[in-house]
Structure 1
Amino acid sequence: MDDALVIGGTRFIGRHLVDELLEHGYDVTIFNRGSHENPFADDDRVRRIEGDRTNDSALEAAAIEAEPDAVFDCVAYYPKDVQAATRIFENCEAYVFVSSGAAYGREEIPKREDATPLADCSPEQAVDDSGATYGPRKAEGDRAVFAAAERGVRSMAVRPCIVYGPHDYTERLDFWIDRVNRFDRVVVPGDGTNVWHRAYVEDVASALRIVAERGEAGEAYNVGDRRLATLEETLGLIADQLDTTVEVVTAGPRELAAGDIEPADYVLYREYPHVLATGKLAGLGWESTPIDEAMARSVGDHLESDRDGSEHEPDRESEERVLGILDTL
């Protein structure tokens, strides 16, 4: 395969994917609406086609113009998007859908591609745009991938867990980096052992390329760091990269209530562990970046950016009330 079409390609996963493809000798075209700044505007190796991926006619026109060997669908959020794309690109050598670890419908440790069932998706959920239906919509997108493979399309799905790294516009990890960078004491909900599997963004990009090149039609592949880190350990990794120390102050629901905070208010906190098995992807030759190296790049990018995670709850003033209560115990 020589020519790749990235649907999306300018913000986060897609941006790193374009870099990954260029490093491996692909000619790359990106297809998007132009709603965000194009980091490849001055790179003559990357061609851009403007259009709305939810408009089938625009997507068909992009297919004719780009003539891709491989298609990477980074912004398919509704099942109908995947159904249309697998039809339009049915003659390509590879179609890879960016799904999600949220597509799983049962809590298991770990969640396995060929064993853990997907979430159900009702017709109403399939067209809903709320966060509550994100997982079901991705699951239905996976089923569209499987159905296309049965028709002879070489279509695959990649399921990342929480993605982090440079250019992360969600600012989820930035919230915690900012806390460690500014405060000696950082409140962590629960006992600090909570695990929400994460995936370094460059590893997600390499996974997408490897699945396109080596994956089997009709298969899904989980992607996540090969070494898990608890939330408390994550703060330690951040502190190491900032060359500082941090006191992790754990707080249960009763203590957090002093600041009108619930444990679930904290970004990257999940009461039940979310862990994805990644052996199937590793079997294709994929490897993950060492976690300290991934954190070093993430922290470095945070310091060079204006991201601080302040859009996420809770605010520091509320935490100070919690710390005050804990100091009296």
Structure 2
Amino acid sequence: MATVLTIGGARFMGRFTVREFLERGDDVTLFTRGNSEIPFAESDVDHVEGDRRNEADLRAAYDAVDPDVVVDFAGFHPADVRAAVDIFADVDAYLFVSSTSAYRLSTAVPIREDETPLESCTPEQATDDSWESYGARKAECDRILFEAADDGVNAISVRPTAIYGPHDPTQRLDYWIDRVRRYDRIVVPGDEYWMPMHLGYAEDAARAITVLAEEGTPGEAYNVANREQCQFDRLIEHIATALETSVTIVRPSPRELATIDLFPKNFSLCRPFPYVVSTERLAALGWKSTPLEAGIETAVEHHLETEPDGSRHGPSRETEERLLELCAHGVRSIDGRGRDS
């Protein structure tokens, strides 16, 4: 049985991770600012309140818990990790939750931990809070972590790809679930979105963290994603099957999108290049992922219970209808049993 301290952990991926540790019989304490509701019974977890960017608060949490394992969900700036690897220098495992956004944009696939270069990070980016600097900041955090590992700290980087599942605050997948649920015809940007995309399921990410807490190698990074990738059409098909509905996909060309000042990147999860990450390193430790259709089914069930629309991740329906009127080609119909019609 281990004593686990999570920095963050009350929201999305963290809540699944805490459950994984609890199911193993570990003692878990959450260190948070107290801004989010703790989704666990008081008898199951302890809670220490404080600001992770305040080193005194972070050290006080360490002193109060004396953890064997630390999982850092809330390290978003290089200074955060620099303080953490100092404070937690003697724990059995310090797992920093990084991101595949730390990798430099590349058309080479798959993205591999020991081959794909990381983003560079300027001093200005290191202290920025915008989404534009997110990948650069995570990359610099990883470099600090690797230096600490070279000095003997049991520090490991966990790099999830786009994670989906119940309780996802980003609502990236909810945009597409909402579209398929509510409308007979939807827009998916042009033919280039037959290209592969790669998601990761929240419960799989949680299991990866618990596996790495015991089996991970200090100084290494581990990608986390489904062991299978898919094309956008297949994603929509899984959603339609889970909803037991039918939908017609209409694919506007880049020129048609441009007529109303839209680009593929304006649609949730759309990338202008193949995005596939290698998970061989993690799988070699015995980790397995949930089949995509099963994960999507669970995500759809939670969507129906909570009804988020994910509208901030794509154009409005009014704009989408303007596109539907423009497009006369690139149409594919999918029925709720996953068969083309």
Structure-2 residue corresponding to 1:256: 257
Aligned residue in 2 for 1:220: 221
Residue in 2 that maps onto 1:312: 313
Q: Take 1:144 and 1:4, find their aligned partners in 2: how far apart are those partners?
A: 22
- 8 Å contact 1:162–1:196 — kept in the other structure? no
Distance in 2 between residues matched to 1:79 and 1:223, nearest whole Å: 21
Residue equivalent to 1:165? 165
Pairing 1:94-105 to 2, within 5 Å after superposition: 94-105=93-104
Residue pair 2:72, 2:97 contacting (<8 A) in 1 also: yes
On the 8 A contact 2:200/2:226 being kept in 1, the answer is yes
Q: CA RMSD in A?
A: 1.3
Note the C-alpha offset of 1:327: 4.1
Cα deviation code 1:15-38 (max 9, x no counterpart)? 111111111111100000011111
8 Å CA contact 2:159–2:221 kept in 1: the answer is yes
The AA in structure 2 aligned to 1:154 is N
Q: Secondary structure at the match of 1:281?
A: helix
Aligned twin of 2:45? 46
Judge conservation of contact 2:251–2:329 (CA < 8 Å) in 1: no
Q: Secondary structure at the match of 2:25?
A: coil
> 2:235 & 2:20 partners in 1: Cα distance?
26
- TM-superposed CA distance for 1:195, in Å, is 3.0
SS of match in other structure, 1:177: helix
- The match for 1:88 is 87
**Structure 1 equivalent of residue 333 of structure 2:** none
Alignment of 1:228-243 (within 5 A): 228-243=229-244
Q: Secondary structure at the match of 2:311?
A: coil
| Separation in structure 1 between the aligned mates of residue 327 and residue 66 of structure 2, nearest angstrom | 62
Native 8 Å contact 2:251 2:327 kept in 1? no
Cα deviation digits, residues 61-115 of structure 1 (max 9, x gap):
0000011100000010001101110110111100000000011124120110011
Task: Tell me the distance in 1 between the aligned counterparts of 2:266 and 2:300.
Answer: 23
Instruction: Quote the offset at 1:121 in angstroms.
Output: 0.9
Matching residue of 1:203: 204
Q: Distance in 1 between matches of 2:94 and 2:55?
A: 16
Cα gap change, 1:63/1:328 in structure 2, threshold over 3 Å: closer, same or farther? closer
Partner of 1:14: 14
User: Is the contact between residue 159 and residue 220 of structure 1 (CA under 8 Å) also seen in structure 2?
Assistant: yes
CA distance in 2, matches of 1:290, 1:160: 17
Shift of the 186–328 alpha-carbon distance from structure 1 to 2, 3 Å rule, reads: closer
Q: Distance in 1 between matches of 2:260 and 2:22?
A: 48
Kept in 2, the 8 Å contact 1:166–1:301? The answer is yes
1:253 and 1:146 map into 2 onto residues whose CA distance is 41
Q: TM-score, normalised by structure 2?
A: 0.94
Residue 223 of structure 2 corresponds to residue 188 of structure 1: no
Whole-angstrom distance in 2 between the partners of 1:285 and 1:220:
16
Tell me the equivalent position of 2:143. 143
Counterpart of 1:189 in 2: which secondary structure? coil
TM-score normalised over the length of structure 1: 0.97
Q: Which residue does the alignment assign to 1:118?
A: 118
Structure 1, 95-104 or 250-259: larger mean CA deviation: 250-259
Report the more deviating stretch, 255-264 or 6-15.
255-264
Query: Does 2:56 align with 1:30?
Result: no
- Is the 1:121–1:139 contact (alpha carbons within 8 Å) kept by the matching residues of 2? yes
The one-letter amino acid of 2:301's match is G
Provide the residue aligned with 2:68 in structure 1. 69
User: 1:258 deviation in Å?
Assistant: 3.9
Residue 260 of structure 1 deviates from its aligned partner by 3.2
Moved more, 156-165 or 305-314: 305-314
Equivalent-residue separation in structure 2 for 1:312 and 1:291 (angstroms) = 21
> Match of 1:318, SS?
helix
- The percent identity for this pair of structures is 49
Cα deviation for residue 259 of structure 1 reads: 3.6
Please give the alpha-carbon distance, in whole angstroms, between the structure 1 residues aligned to 2:328 and 2:282.
47
Q: Which amino acid aligns with 1:196?
A: M
Report the Cα distance in structure 2 between the residues aligned to 1:249 and 1:328, rounded to whole angstroms.
7
**Counterpart secondary structure, 1:114:** coil
| Residue 174 of structure 1: how far off its partner (Å) | 0.2
CA spacing shift, 1:106–1:255, aligned 2, 3 Å? closer
Which structure 1 segments of 5+ residues have no match?
none
Q: Partner letter of residue 101 of structure 1?
A: T
Q: What one-letter code is carried by the residue in structure 1 that aligns with 2:200?
A: A
CA distance in 1, matches of 2:247, 2:329: 20
1:165 Cα deviation after fit: 0.3
